[in-house]
Structure 1
Amino acid sequence: MSDASARVADSTGNWVDTHAPLWLRPYLRLSRLDRPIGSWLLLLPCWWSAALAAGVAHDLSQLPLTIALFFLGAFAMRGAGCTWNDITDRDLDARVERTRSRPIPAGQVSVRQALIFLAAQALVGLLVLLQFNRFAVITGIASLLVVAIYPFMKRITYWPQVVLGLAFSWGALMGFAVILQRIDATALLLYAGSIAWVIGYDTIYAHQDAEDDALIGVKSTARLFGTRTHEALVVFYGVAVVLIGTAFLLAGVHWPAWLGLAAFAVHLAWQISRLKIDDPLLCLRIFKSNRDAGLLLFAGLLIDAVMRI
């Protein structure tokens, strides 16, 4: 098999395809380092909560290291989660046009090799987690159950995006666990708002595969909402902004955080206005733009935390 034919269908021209050693490329694709957007989307709630908790504590001393460790941990654990997803979904992936070129169904990596690679990535994530306090370690380990069951949800419910939201938003709790050693109402509201955000953006992502999913019986909110997706996004993105704003009220944030939330809300509105669910490439571009939306919110929180000091 040529390397060109080994590339994942919706990921070409990236550094993995052009610069990584040939033997390493299937493993980098397993961990989605050729498509790091998911790692960013896992990371952003971690950064939001770290900045918000630092502002509440009026103490920035832990924030730089926490931001760096969250970056390493998010990339490691997203890679582990994607590897687990590819192991459990290998038969389904082989039946979907966009995913049949993934390393396991394409025969580039065996299930045994993928399991070993999964363990290695999880070990990196554990080493990062162990740098934090005991409460944060326990909080982080508790997320593994949600991560483990997520790949099976698309087989039994039209709402797998909710479970993905529970997993991908866990970082909204971790910042409070690390910096304040507690999870309070502010953290829970931030977590709930992030879940609503994830449901929205992953519905957009799932529209890429809606036709294939219908043929093989895979369920998703994209299939559930169908032509009502725009209305559903108004609800979920609106709920996300309201819940995050309520968390901000409890935390007593200042104007930079509110400005960041306003920019976040405008970006989400722009996504809804641009979306065409029958255009897979546009769905992918809009989905990826959520990194920018999340960074706008983080920037506001970071400036707010600095101002509080």
Structure 2
Amino acid sequence: MAAQPGEFPDLKMLALFGCGAVLLRGAGCTVNDLLDHDIDVKVERTKYRPLALGLFTPYQGVGFLGVQLLLGLGILLQLNNYRYASHLKPQAYLGLTFNWGALLGWAAIKGNLDPTIVLPLYSSGVFWTLVCDTIYAHQDKEDNLKVGVQSTALRFGDLTKNWISGFGIACIGSLLVSGFNAELALPYYLFLTGAAGYLMKFPYCRFVSNKWFGALVFSGILLGRLAL
């Protein structure tokens, strides 16, 4: 979205942020497994994770986390200076942390933060995460209830689909605002319409299928920028 109108995005930046997303998402999962290994062993779906199973010690897990963070730092140091200003400490909630790249990516390309574009884009990612992670949490409802772990799946209960629909509408609405303010062309809205339809049926699909929603949004942003 930060690319120049009519030009393909910087391939180096795409590669850096692609690798960074994998590394830092992986680091987040490592932290999660380190903190929850005593709980994971009591949950059917997670009891075979390496730390819960005892294949690795917490000390080895911290060492692996250090490698992930160092590699992530290597990527961060290749960006421009403004990215430090945008790399504040976000709250430790999944959606807020995992979507921080929306702010960081714009700053790395533009050297500034346009709140009318990046804040709705960031918000859309947070709402998307709430959709996905709430569905994900339903896999562990019974075990979480036994262990005493609170989740959106337990909190929303029978109203889960209503909440997910609300988050989905907020996600699409935020993407509409961001795309409009970024002056993206018609292809963006065509792909976003398809993504909206997909997101609305997402509660009835498998969790792993959410990657196709991301692919539709990315394709819309790319073509919406190239068409200008």
Instruction: Tell me, in whole angstroms, the C-alpha distance in 2 between the residues paired with 1:210 and 1:139.
Output: 36
Asked whether the equivalents of residues 199 and 213 of structure 2 are also in contact (C-alpha less than 8 Å), the reply is: yes
In the other structure, the counterpart of 1:166 is 96
Asked whether the equivalents of residues 130 and 137 of structure 1 are also in contact (C-alpha less than 8 Å), the reply is: no
Asked whether the equivalents of residues 187 and 224 of structure 2 are also in contact (C-alpha less than 8 Å), the reply is: yes
Which among 194, 197, 207 is matched to residue 138 of structure 2? Answer: 207
In the other structure, the counterpart of 1:12 is none
Instruction: Tell me, in whole angstroms, the C-alpha distance in 2 between the residues paired with 1:76 and 1:59.
Output: 30
Equivalent AA in structure 2 for residue 53 of structure 1 = A
Listed one character per residue, the Cα deviations across residues 64-84 of structure 1 (whole Å, up to 9, x for unaligned) are 111111111111111111111
Asked whether the equivalents of residues 173 and 191 of structure 1 are also in contact (C-alpha less than 8 Å), the reply is: yes
Count of residue pairs the alignment pairs up: 227
Instruction: Tell me, in whole angstroms, the C-alpha distance in 2 between the residues paired with 1:253 and 1:195.
Output: 21
Which segments of 5 or more consecutive residues in structure 1 lack a partner in the other structure?
A: 1-51, 150-162, 276-284
Asked whether the equivalents of residues 169 and 195 of structure 1 are also in contact (C-alpha less than 8 Å), the reply is: yes
Q: Is the partner of 1:208 in helix, strand or coil?
A: helix
Listed one character per residue, the Cα deviations across residues 32-77 of structure 1 (whole Å, up to 9, x for unaligned) are xxxxxxxxxxxxxxxxxxxx111xx437476211111111111111
In the other structure, the counterpart of 2:12 is 65
In the other structure, the counterpart of 1:155 is none
What value does the CA root-mean-square deviation take over the aligned residues?
A: 1.6
Instruction: Tell me, in whole angstroms, the C-alpha distance in 1 between the residues paired with 2:46 and 2:181.
Output: 43
Instruction: Tell me, in whole angstroms, the C-alpha distance in 2 between the residues paired with 1:101 and 1:202.
Output: 20
Listed one character per residue, the Cα deviations across residues 239-276 of structure 1 (whole Å, up to 9, x for unaligned) are 1101110111111111111112111101011213x25x
In the other structure, the counterpart of 1:94 is 41
Instruction: Tell me, in whole angstroms, the C-alpha distance in 2 between the residues paired with 1:218 and 1:243.
Output: 30
| Percent of matched pairs sharing the same residue | 38
* Dislocated runs of 4+, deviation >6 Å: none
Q: Is the partner of 1:53 in helix, strand or coil?
A: coil
In the other structure, the counterpart of 2:150 is 219
Instruction: Tell me, in whole angstroms, the C-alpha distance in 1 between the residues paired with 2:10 and 2:190.
Output: 21
Asked whether the equivalents of residues 62 and 179 of structure 1 are also in contact (C-alpha less than 8 Å), the reply is: no
In the other structure, the counterpart of 1:232 is 163
Which among 243, 256, 266 is matched to residue 197 of structure 2? Answer: 266
Asked whether the equivalents of residues 268 and 293 of structure 1 are also in contact (C-alpha less than 8 Å), the reply is: yes
TM-score, normalised via structure 1 length = 0.70
Equivalent AA in structure 2 for residue 306 of structure 1 = L
Which among 171, 182, 186 is matched to residue 112 of structure 2? Answer: 182
Which among 259, 267, 291 is matched to residue 211 of structure 2? Answer: 291
C-alpha displacement of 1:170: 1.1
2:174 paired with 1:243: yes
Equivalent AA in structure 1 for residue 173 of structure 2 = V
Which segments of 5 or more consecutive residues in structure 2 lack a partner in the other structure?
A: none
Instruction: Tell me, in whole angstroms, the C-alpha distance in 2 between the residues paired with 1:58 and 1:208.
Output: 43
Instruction: Tell me, in whole angstroms, the C-alpha distance in 2 between the residues paired with 1:114 and 1:170.
Output: 24
Alignment of 1:1-309 (within 5 A): 52-54=1-3, 57-58=4-5, 60=7, 63-140=10-87, 142-143=88-89, 146=91, 149=92, 163-184=93-114, 185-272=116-203, 274=204, 285=206, 287-308=207-228
